[in-house]
Structure 1
Protein backbone atom coordinates (compact mmCIF):
# COMPACT_ATOMS: atom_id res chain seq x y z
CA UNK A 1 0.00 0.00 0.00
CA UNK A 2 2.91 2.35 0.60
CA UNK A 3 3.75 2.41 -3.11
CA UNK A 4 0.22 3.60 -3.87
CA UNK A 5 0.69 6.75 -1.80
CA UNK A 6 1.86 9.92 -3.51
CA UNK A 7 3.90 12.37 -1.47
CA UNK A 8 4.08 15.90 -2.74
CA UNK A 9 7.72 16.37 -1.72
CA UNK A 10 8.80 13.63 -4.15
CA UNK A 11 8.08 15.86 -7.14
CA UNK A 12 10.19 18.67 -5.75
CA UNK A 13 13.31 16.70 -4.91
CA UNK A 14 16.49 17.76 -6.76
CA UNK A 15 17.83 15.83 -9.76
CA UNK A 16 20.73 13.77 -8.42
CA UNK A 17 21.43 11.24 -11.19
CA UNK A 18 20.90 11.50 -14.94
CA UNK A 19 21.58 9.73 -18.22
CA UNK A 20 22.87 11.83 -21.09
CA UNK A 21 20.42 12.33 -23.94
CA UNK A 22 23.21 12.06 -26.48
CA UNK A 23 22.44 15.60 -27.67
CA UNK A 24 24.69 18.20 -25.96
CA UNK A 25 22.26 21.04 -26.70
CA UNK A 26 19.43 19.15 -25.01
CA UNK A 27 21.58 18.09 -22.04
CA UNK A 28 22.44 21.74 -21.50
CA UNK A 29 18.82 22.74 -20.83
CA UNK A 30 17.76 19.75 -18.72
CA UNK A 31 18.18 19.82 -14.93
CA UNK A 32 21.24 17.82 -14.00
CA UNK A 33 22.34 17.63 -17.63
CA UNK A 34 20.27 14.71 -18.96
CA UNK A 35 17.29 12.41 -18.51
CA UNK A 36 16.53 12.11 -14.78
CA UNK A 37 16.92 8.66 -13.23
CA UNK A 38 14.35 7.44 -10.70
CA UNK A 39 11.76 9.73 -12.30
CA UNK A 40 9.25 9.90 -15.13
CA UNK A 41 9.90 11.66 -18.41
CA UNK A 42 6.99 12.09 -20.79
CA UNK A 43 7.78 12.06 -24.51
CA UNK A 44 4.84 13.53 -26.42
CA UNK A 45 4.56 12.78 -30.15
CA UNK A 46 1.98 13.33 -32.90
CA UNK A 47 2.31 9.77 -34.22
CA UNK A 48 3.88 6.82 -32.44
CA UNK A 49 7.06 5.09 -33.70
CA UNK A 50 7.97 7.95 -36.04
CA UNK A 51 10.24 10.10 -33.89
CA UNK A 52 10.60 8.78 -30.33
CA UNK A 53 13.33 6.26 -31.21
CA UNK A 54 15.30 9.00 -32.96
CA UNK A 55 15.25 10.92 -29.69
CA UNK A 56 15.93 8.02 -27.32
CA UNK A 57 18.25 5.80 -29.40
CA UNK A 58 21.49 7.46 -28.17
CA UNK A 59 20.49 6.83 -24.55
CA UNK A 60 19.42 3.25 -25.29
CA UNK A 61 22.76 2.67 -27.01
CA UNK A 62 24.77 4.07 -24.11
CA UNK A 63 22.87 1.99 -21.54
CA UNK A 64 23.06 -1.30 -23.43
CA UNK A 65 26.77 -0.71 -24.10
CA UNK A 66 27.22 -0.83 -20.32
CA UNK A 67 25.22 -4.05 -20.07
CA UNK A 68 22.08 -2.33 -18.75
CA UNK A 69 18.72 -3.74 -19.83
CA UNK A 70 16.25 -1.44 -21.58
CA UNK A 71 12.61 -2.58 -21.57
CA UNK A 72 10.21 -1.49 -24.33
CA UNK A 73 6.57 -1.89 -23.31
CA UNK A 74 3.98 -1.96 -26.08
CA UNK A 75 5.64 0.05 -28.89
CA UNK A 76 3.24 0.81 -31.71
CA UNK A 77 5.48 -0.95 -34.23
CA UNK A 78 8.01 -3.73 -33.90
CA UNK A 79 11.38 -2.16 -32.98
CA UNK A 80 13.70 -2.07 -36.01
CA UNK A 81 16.81 -3.54 -34.45
CA UNK A 82 19.12 -3.22 -37.53
CA UNK A 83 18.55 0.53 -37.45
CA UNK A 84 19.01 0.72 -33.68
CA UNK A 85 22.30 -1.17 -33.92
CA UNK A 86 23.69 1.73 -35.95
CA UNK A 87 23.15 3.85 -32.82
CA UNK A 88 25.22 1.42 -30.76
CA UNK A 89 22.23 -0.45 -29.34
CA UNK A 90 23.13 -3.97 -28.19
CA UNK A 91 19.94 -5.97 -28.75
CA UNK A 92 21.03 -8.58 -26.21
CA UNK A 93 20.01 -6.06 -23.55
CA UNK A 94 16.73 -4.94 -25.15
CA UNK A 95 13.52 -6.53 -23.85
CA UNK A 96 10.40 -6.07 -25.97
CA UNK A 97 7.14 -6.58 -24.07
CA UNK A 98 4.50 -7.09 -26.77
CA UNK A 99 1.20 -5.99 -25.20
CA UNK A 100 -1.72 -4.08 -26.69
CA UNK A 101 -4.47 -3.67 -24.10
CA UNK A 102 -4.14 -0.45 -22.05
CA UNK A 103 -4.53 -2.41 -18.80
CA UNK A 104 -1.75 -4.83 -19.79
CA UNK A 105 0.56 -2.00 -20.84
CA UNK A 106 0.09 -0.25 -17.52
CA UNK A 107 0.48 -3.44 -15.47
CA UNK A 108 3.67 -4.45 -17.33
CA UNK A 109 5.13 -0.98 -16.88
CA UNK A 110 4.40 -1.01 -13.16
CA UNK A 111 5.99 -4.43 -12.66
CA UNK A 112 9.16 -3.46 -14.53
CA UNK A 113 9.48 -0.25 -12.53
CA UNK A 114 8.87 -2.06 -9.25
CA UNK A 115 11.59 -4.59 -10.10
CA UNK A 116 14.02 -1.68 -10.31
CA UNK A 117 16.59 -3.67 -12.28
CA UNK A 118 16.29 -2.03 -15.71
CA UNK A 119 18.63 0.59 -17.04
CA UNK A 120 15.55 2.28 -18.49
CA UNK A 121 11.88 1.54 -19.06
CA UNK A 122 10.15 2.97 -22.14
CA UNK A 123 6.38 2.49 -22.22
CA UNK A 124 3.84 3.52 -24.85
CA UNK A 125 0.75 4.56 -22.89
CA UNK A 126 -1.69 6.43 -25.15
CA UNK A 127 -4.56 5.89 -22.69
CA UNK A 128 -3.46 6.65 -19.15
CA UNK A 129 -5.16 8.74 -16.50
CA UNK A 130 -3.57 11.47 -14.39
CA UNK A 131 -3.76 9.41 -11.20
CA UNK A 132 -2.05 6.50 -12.96
CA UNK A 133 0.80 8.76 -14.09
CA UNK A 134 1.11 9.99 -10.50
CA UNK A 135 1.38 6.42 -9.27
CA UNK A 136 4.04 5.61 -11.87
CA UNK A 137 6.03 8.65 -10.76
CA UNK A 138 5.99 7.39 -7.18
CA UNK A 139 7.06 3.91 -8.29
CA UNK A 140 9.79 5.36 -10.52
CA UNK A 141 11.60 6.71 -7.45
CA UNK A 142 12.73 3.10 -6.81
CA UNK A 143 13.99 2.55 -10.37
CA UNK A 144 17.72 2.65 -11.11
CA UNK A 145 17.33 4.47 -14.41
CA UNK A 146 14.96 6.81 -16.23
CA UNK A 147 11.38 5.86 -17.04
CA UNK A 148 9.90 7.21 -20.27
CA UNK A 149 6.19 7.41 -21.06
CA UNK A 150 5.43 7.90 -24.76
CA UNK A 151 2.09 9.66 -25.01
CA UNK A 152 0.10 11.56 -27.67
CA UNK A 153 1.01 15.18 -28.25
CA UNK A 154 -2.52 16.17 -27.23
CA UNK A 155 -1.73 15.04 -23.66
CA UNK A 156 0.46 18.13 -23.32
CA UNK A 157 -2.68 20.15 -22.59
CA UNK A 158 -3.32 18.13 -19.43
CA UNK A 159 -1.49 18.37 -16.12
CA UNK A 160 0.94 15.60 -15.24
CA UNK A 161 2.94 14.45 -12.24
CA UNK A 162 5.95 13.75 -14.48
CA UNK A 163 8.73 16.24 -13.55
CA UNK A 164 9.96 16.38 -17.16
CA UNK A 165 7.82 16.58 -20.30
CA UNK A 166 9.09 17.06 -23.85
CA UNK A 167 7.27 17.25 -27.18
CA UNK A 168 9.13 15.92 -30.23
CA UNK A 169 8.38 16.60 -33.89
CA UNK A 170 10.04 15.70 -37.18
CA UNK A 171 11.65 18.59 -39.06
CA UNK A 172 13.43 18.97 -42.40
CA UNK A 173 17.09 18.17 -43.09
CA UNK A 174 17.08 15.11 -40.79
CA UNK A 175 16.33 17.17 -37.73
CA UNK A 176 13.94 16.70 -34.87
CA UNK A 177 12.48 19.58 -32.88
CA UNK A 178 12.31 19.16 -29.11
CA UNK A 179 10.20 21.46 -26.98
CA UNK A 180 10.66 21.20 -23.22
CA UNK A 181 7.13 21.68 -21.91
CA UNK A 182 7.94 21.10 -18.25
CA UNK A 183 11.15 20.87 -16.24
CA UNK A 184 12.30 21.66 -12.74
CA UNK A 185 13.21 25.31 -12.66
CA UNK A 186 12.31 28.12 -15.05
CA UNK A 187 10.37 27.25 -18.21
CA UNK A 188 12.14 27.01 -21.58
CA UNK A 189 10.54 29.25 -24.18
CA UNK A 190 12.42 28.17 -27.32
CA UNK A 191 12.39 24.75 -28.96
CA UNK A 192 15.61 22.96 -29.88
CA UNK A 193 16.42 21.71 -33.40
CA UNK A 194 18.57 18.57 -33.12
CA UNK A 195 20.28 16.64 -35.88
CA UNK A 196 18.97 13.08 -35.69
CA UNK A 197 19.55 11.03 -38.80
CA UNK A 198 17.99 7.53 -38.83
CA UNK A 199 20.50 4.81 -38.02
CA UNK A 200 22.84 3.87 -40.86
CA UNK A 201 21.94 6.69 -43.23
CA UNK A 202 24.74 8.94 -42.00
CA UNK A 203 27.34 6.53 -43.44
CA UNK A 204 25.89 6.54 -46.97
CA UNK A 205 24.33 10.00 -47.18
CA UNK A 206 25.95 12.34 -49.71
CA UNK A 207 26.55 15.98 -48.72
CA UNK A 208 23.82 17.02 -51.17
CA UNK A 209 21.21 14.75 -49.58
CA UNK A 210 22.07 15.84 -46.05
CA UNK A 211 20.09 19.03 -46.77
CA UNK A 212 17.02 17.88 -48.74
CA UNK A 213 15.27 21.22 -48.21
CA UNK A 214 17.84 22.82 -50.50
CA UNK A 215 16.81 20.48 -53.31
CA UNK A 216 13.25 21.78 -53.34
CA UNK A 217 12.73 24.55 -55.87
CA UNK A 218 9.63 26.69 -56.08
CA UNK A 219 8.40 27.19 -59.63
CA UNK A 220 7.43 30.81 -60.38
CA UNK A 221 3.71 31.33 -60.82
CA UNK A 222 2.48 33.18 -63.93
CA UNK A 223 -0.94 33.77 -62.37
CA UNK A 224 0.26 36.97 -60.69
CA UNK A 225 2.42 38.28 -63.55
CA UNK A 226 2.17 41.99 -64.17
CA UNK A 227 0.88 43.17 -67.59
CA UNK A 228 4.37 44.35 -68.48
CA UNK A 229 5.93 40.99 -67.69
CA UNK A 230 3.24 39.19 -69.71
CA UNK A 231 3.83 41.43 -72.71
CA UNK A 232 7.57 40.88 -72.60
CA UNK A 233 7.27 37.08 -72.50
CA UNK A 234 8.10 35.65 -75.94
CA UNK A 235 5.93 32.81 -77.28
CA UNK A 236 7.41 29.34 -77.28
CA UNK A 237 7.44 28.04 -80.91
CA UNK A 238 7.05 24.48 -79.65
CA UNK A 239 4.16 25.02 -77.23
CA UNK A 240 2.21 27.80 -78.95
CA UNK A 241 0.31 27.15 -82.21
CA UNK A 242 1.39 28.86 -85.39
CA UNK A 243 -0.67 31.88 -86.45
CA UNK A 244 0.24 31.62 -90.14
Structure 2
Protein backbone atom coordinates (compact mmCIF):
# COMPACT_ATOMS: atom_id res chain seq x y z
CA UNK A 1 0.00 0.00 0.00
CA UNK A 2 2.82 2.42 0.86
CA UNK A 3 4.41 1.76 -2.54
CA UNK A 4 1.13 2.55 -4.27
CA UNK A 5 0.71 5.80 -2.32
CA UNK A 6 4.24 6.89 -3.15
CA UNK A 7 3.58 6.17 -6.82
CA UNK A 8 0.38 8.25 -6.75
CA UNK A 9 2.11 11.14 -4.96
CA UNK A 10 4.94 11.12 -7.52
CA UNK A 11 2.32 11.35 -10.26
CA UNK A 12 0.63 14.23 -8.36
CA UNK A 13 -2.63 12.28 -8.24
CA UNK A 14 -3.18 12.65 -4.48
CA UNK A 15 -3.06 15.61 -2.12
CA UNK A 16 -2.12 15.29 1.54
CA UNK A 17 -4.14 17.07 4.18
CA UNK A 18 -0.99 18.33 5.92
CA UNK A 19 0.40 19.85 2.73
CA UNK A 20 1.37 23.47 3.42
CA UNK A 21 -0.25 26.25 1.39
CA UNK A 22 2.69 28.62 1.60
CA UNK A 23 4.75 26.27 -0.57
CA UNK A 24 2.76 27.50 -3.55
CA UNK A 25 4.03 30.71 -5.16
CA UNK A 26 1.28 33.21 -5.87
CA UNK A 27 0.90 36.70 -7.36
CA UNK A 28 -1.68 39.35 -6.60
CA UNK A 29 -4.87 39.32 -8.68
CA UNK A 30 -5.22 43.09 -8.39
CA UNK A 31 -8.36 42.78 -6.26
CA UNK A 32 -8.14 42.75 -2.47
CA UNK A 33 -11.23 40.58 -2.06
CA UNK A 34 -9.90 37.88 -4.36
CA UNK A 35 -6.37 38.00 -2.91
CA UNK A 36 -7.81 37.48 0.58
CA UNK A 37 -9.93 34.53 -0.54
CA UNK A 38 -6.92 32.93 -2.30
CA UNK A 39 -4.55 33.83 0.55
CA UNK A 40 -2.18 35.67 -1.75
CA UNK A 41 -3.47 35.58 -5.32
CA UNK A 42 -3.32 33.49 -8.47
CA UNK A 43 -0.72 30.71 -8.63
CA UNK A 44 2.48 31.45 -10.52
CA UNK A 45 1.82 28.58 -12.92
CA UNK A 46 -0.82 25.95 -13.53
CA UNK A 47 -4.37 25.86 -14.79
CA UNK A 48 -7.39 27.90 -13.65
CA UNK A 49 -10.85 26.68 -14.61
CA UNK A 50 -13.39 29.54 -14.74
CA UNK A 51 -17.10 28.85 -15.20
CA UNK A 52 -18.73 32.10 -16.31
CA UNK A 53 -21.38 33.59 -18.59
CA UNK A 54 -19.83 35.56 -21.44
CA UNK A 55 -19.58 39.34 -21.08
CA UNK A 56 -20.17 39.83 -17.35
CA UNK A 57 -16.68 41.20 -16.62
CA UNK A 58 -14.65 37.99 -16.64
CA UNK A 59 -11.87 39.57 -18.70
CA UNK A 60 -11.83 42.70 -16.53
CA UNK A 61 -11.31 40.40 -13.55
CA UNK A 62 -8.12 38.99 -15.08
CA UNK A 63 -6.60 42.16 -16.57
CA UNK A 64 -4.70 43.40 -13.47
CA UNK A 65 -2.99 40.02 -13.05
CA UNK A 66 -2.20 39.83 -16.77
CA UNK A 67 -0.67 43.30 -16.70
CA UNK A 68 1.52 42.33 -13.73
CA UNK A 69 2.66 39.11 -15.41
CA UNK A 70 3.60 40.94 -18.62
CA UNK A 71 6.64 42.40 -16.89
CA UNK A 72 8.31 39.03 -17.57
CA UNK A 73 8.49 40.10 -21.25
CA UNK A 74 6.74 37.00 -22.51
CA UNK A 75 3.59 36.59 -24.59
CA UNK A 76 -0.03 36.86 -23.55
CA UNK A 77 -2.12 34.54 -25.74
CA UNK A 78 -5.87 34.56 -26.41
CA UNK A 79 -7.20 31.35 -27.99
CA UNK A 80 -10.68 30.90 -29.50
CA UNK A 81 -12.14 34.04 -27.96
CA UNK A 82 -15.90 34.26 -28.66
CA UNK A 83 -15.64 38.02 -29.09
CA UNK A 84 -13.27 40.51 -30.71
CA UNK A 85 -10.39 41.31 -28.37
CA UNK A 86 -10.22 45.10 -28.13
CA UNK A 87 -6.59 46.11 -28.57
CA UNK A 88 -7.30 49.71 -27.60
CA UNK A 89 -8.72 48.56 -24.29
CA UNK A 90 -5.70 46.37 -23.60
CA UNK A 91 -3.32 49.23 -24.40
CA UNK A 92 -5.32 51.66 -22.26
CA UNK A 93 -5.00 49.29 -19.33
CA UNK A 94 -1.22 49.15 -19.74
CA UNK A 95 -0.71 45.94 -21.71
CA UNK A 96 1.91 45.97 -24.46
CA UNK A 97 0.25 44.94 -27.73
CA UNK A 98 3.62 43.74 -29.03
CA UNK A 99 3.41 40.94 -26.46
CA UNK A 100 -0.17 39.89 -27.29
CA UNK A 101 -0.97 36.99 -29.62
CA UNK A 102 -4.52 36.16 -30.76
CA UNK A 103 -5.18 32.66 -32.11
CA UNK A 104 -8.46 31.69 -33.81
CA UNK A 105 -8.23 27.92 -34.46
CA UNK A 106 -10.50 26.05 -36.85
CA UNK A 107 -11.69 23.50 -34.30
CA UNK A 108 -11.76 22.66 -30.60
CA UNK A 109 -8.98 20.11 -31.15
CA UNK A 110 -6.77 22.77 -32.74
CA UNK A 111 -7.49 25.07 -29.79
CA UNK A 112 -6.25 22.42 -27.34
CA UNK A 113 -3.14 21.78 -29.44
CA UNK A 114 -2.39 25.51 -29.69
CA UNK A 115 -2.78 25.98 -25.94
CA UNK A 116 -0.49 23.08 -25.10
CA UNK A 117 2.22 24.29 -27.49
CA UNK A 118 2.08 27.84 -26.14
CA UNK A 119 2.12 26.74 -22.51
CA UNK A 120 5.08 24.40 -22.67
CA UNK A 121 7.14 26.61 -25.01
CA UNK A 122 8.33 28.88 -22.21
CA UNK A 123 7.55 31.91 -24.42
CA UNK A 124 4.17 32.74 -22.82
CA UNK A 125 3.39 34.00 -19.34
CA UNK A 126 -0.39 33.48 -19.67
CA UNK A 127 -2.75 31.70 -22.05
CA UNK A 128 -6.50 32.36 -22.08
CA UNK A 129 -8.60 29.77 -23.86
CA UNK A 130 -12.37 29.64 -24.34
CA UNK A 131 -13.34 25.97 -24.53
CA UNK A 132 -16.59 24.19 -23.71
CA UNK A 133 -15.68 20.50 -23.44
CA UNK A 134 -12.66 19.44 -21.40
CA UNK A 135 -11.84 15.89 -20.42
CA UNK A 136 -9.68 14.86 -17.48
CA UNK A 137 -6.88 13.53 -19.70
CA UNK A 138 -6.80 16.79 -21.67
CA UNK A 139 -6.74 18.81 -18.47
CA UNK A 140 -3.78 16.86 -17.13
CA UNK A 141 -1.82 17.53 -20.34
CA UNK A 142 -2.54 21.26 -20.15
CA UNK A 143 -1.76 21.44 -16.43
CA UNK A 144 1.58 19.70 -17.01
CA UNK A 145 2.38 21.94 -19.98
CA UNK A 146 1.67 25.06 -17.90
CA UNK A 147 3.97 23.86 -15.12
CA UNK A 148 6.71 22.97 -17.62
CA UNK A 149 6.57 26.40 -19.25
CA UNK A 150 6.05 28.32 -15.98
CA UNK A 151 2.84 29.73 -17.45
CA UNK A 152 -0.68 30.35 -16.20
CA UNK A 153 -3.53 28.84 -18.20
CA UNK A 154 -7.01 30.34 -17.83
CA UNK A 155 -9.81 28.21 -19.31
CA UNK A 156 -13.14 30.03 -19.58
CA UNK A 157 -16.26 27.98 -20.15
CA UNK A 158 -19.94 28.55 -19.62
CA UNK A 159 -21.60 27.21 -16.49
CA UNK A 160 -24.30 25.27 -18.30
CA UNK A 161 -21.96 22.29 -18.50
CA UNK A 162 -22.15 19.33 -16.16
CA UNK A 163 -20.05 20.13 -13.12
CA UNK A 164 -17.00 17.85 -13.40
CA UNK A 165 -14.13 18.31 -11.00
CA UNK A 166 -11.00 18.66 -13.10
CA UNK A 167 -7.39 18.28 -11.86
CA UNK A 168 -6.59 22.01 -11.95
CA UNK A 169 -4.76 24.43 -9.66
CA UNK A 170 -7.85 26.58 -9.12
CA UNK A 171 -11.53 26.51 -10.11
CA UNK A 172 -13.98 29.40 -9.83
CA UNK A 173 -17.55 30.23 -10.77
CA UNK A 174 -18.47 33.81 -11.74
CA UNK A 175 -21.83 35.55 -11.89
CA UNK A 176 -22.87 39.10 -12.72
CA UNK A 177 -23.08 41.66 -9.93
CA UNK A 178 -24.10 45.31 -9.97
CA UNK A 179 -20.71 46.55 -8.73
CA UNK A 180 -18.54 43.92 -10.44
CA UNK A 181 -18.70 40.13 -10.32
CA UNK A 182 -19.77 37.54 -7.78
CA UNK A 183 -17.15 34.83 -7.19
CA UNK A 184 -17.33 31.32 -5.79
CA UNK A 185 -14.08 29.38 -5.41
CA UNK A 186 -14.93 25.72 -5.87
CA UNK A 187 -11.44 24.19 -5.84
CA UNK A 188 -8.01 25.37 -4.75
CA UNK A 189 -4.79 23.37 -4.79
CA UNK A 190 -3.21 23.34 -1.35
CA UNK A 191 -6.26 24.89 0.31
CA UNK A 192 -9.98 24.85 0.81
CA UNK A 193 -12.83 26.49 -1.14
CA UNK A 194 -13.98 29.87 0.18
CA UNK A 195 -17.44 31.26 0.82
CA UNK A 196 -18.99 33.17 -2.13
CA UNK A 197 -18.13 36.87 -2.20
CA UNK A 198 -18.42 39.93 -4.45
CA UNK A 199 -15.61 41.85 -6.13
CA UNK A 200 -16.18 45.60 -6.37
CA UNK A 201 -14.92 47.04 -9.67
CA UNK A 202 -16.40 50.52 -9.31
CA UNK A 203 -13.01 52.13 -8.60
CA UNK A 204 -11.32 50.69 -11.70
CA UNK A 205 -14.31 50.48 -14.06
CA UNK A 206 -16.86 53.06 -12.80
CA UNK A 207 -18.58 53.36 -16.18
CA UNK A 208 -19.24 49.61 -16.30
CA UNK A 209 -20.77 49.24 -12.85
CA UNK A 210 -24.08 50.36 -11.39
CA UNK A 211 -24.06 52.83 -8.54
CA UNK A 212 -25.22 51.71 -5.13
CA UNK A 213 -28.98 51.75 -4.86
CA UNK A 214 -30.54 54.02 -2.32
CA UNK A 215 -32.32 52.22 0.48
CA UNK A 216 -36.06 51.80 -0.12
CA UNK A 217 -36.80 51.49 3.59
CA UNK A 218 -38.83 54.43 4.93
CA UNK A 219 -38.58 55.29 8.59
CA UNK A 220 -41.77 56.27 10.36
CA UNK A 221 -41.70 59.54 12.31
CA UNK A 222 -41.47 59.02 16.03
CA UNK A 223 -44.54 59.94 18.00
CA UNK A 224 -44.14 62.94 20.27
CA UNK A 225 -44.44 62.13 23.94
CA UNK A 226 -46.50 64.73 25.80
Q: Common fold, TM-score beyond 0.5? A: yes
Q: 1:9 aligns with which of 4, 7, 12?
A: 12
**5+ residue gaps in structure 1?**
1-5, 218-244
**5+ residue gaps in structure 2?**
1-8, 217-226
TM-score w.r.t. the length of structure 1 is 0.72
RMSD of aligned residue pairs (Cα, Å): 2.9
Q: Do residues 192 (structure 1) and 197 (structure 2) align?
A: yes
Q: Residues 25, 195 of structure 1: CA spacing in aligned structure 2 closer, same or farther, 3 A cutoff?
A: same
Count residues with an aligned counterpart.
203
Aligned match of 2:137: 131
Q: Secondary structure at the match of 1:119?
A: strand
Q: 1:35 aligns with which of 21, 36, 42?
A: 42
Query: In the alignment, is the contact (CA less than 8 A) between 2:132 and 2:158 conserved in 1?
Result: yes
CA deviations on 1:186-236 (whole Å, 9 max, x unpaired) are 221x2121122597x54xx5xxx964352798xxxxxxxxxxxxxxxxxxx
Q: Residues 131, 210 of structure 1: CA spacing in aligned structure 2 closer, same or farther, 3 A cutoff?
A: closer
Structure 2 distance, partners of 1:160, 1:115, is: 23
Structure 1 distance, partners of 2:215, 2:92, is: 29
Residue 172 (structure 1) shift: 0.7
Work out which of the two has the higher radius of gyration on C-alpha atoms and give 1 or 2. Answer: 1
TM-score w.r.t. the length of structure 2 is 0.77
Aligned match of 1:26: 34
Residue 101 (structure 1) shift: 1.1
Q: Do residues 58 (structure 1) and 61 (structure 2) align?
A: no
Aligned match of 1:240: none
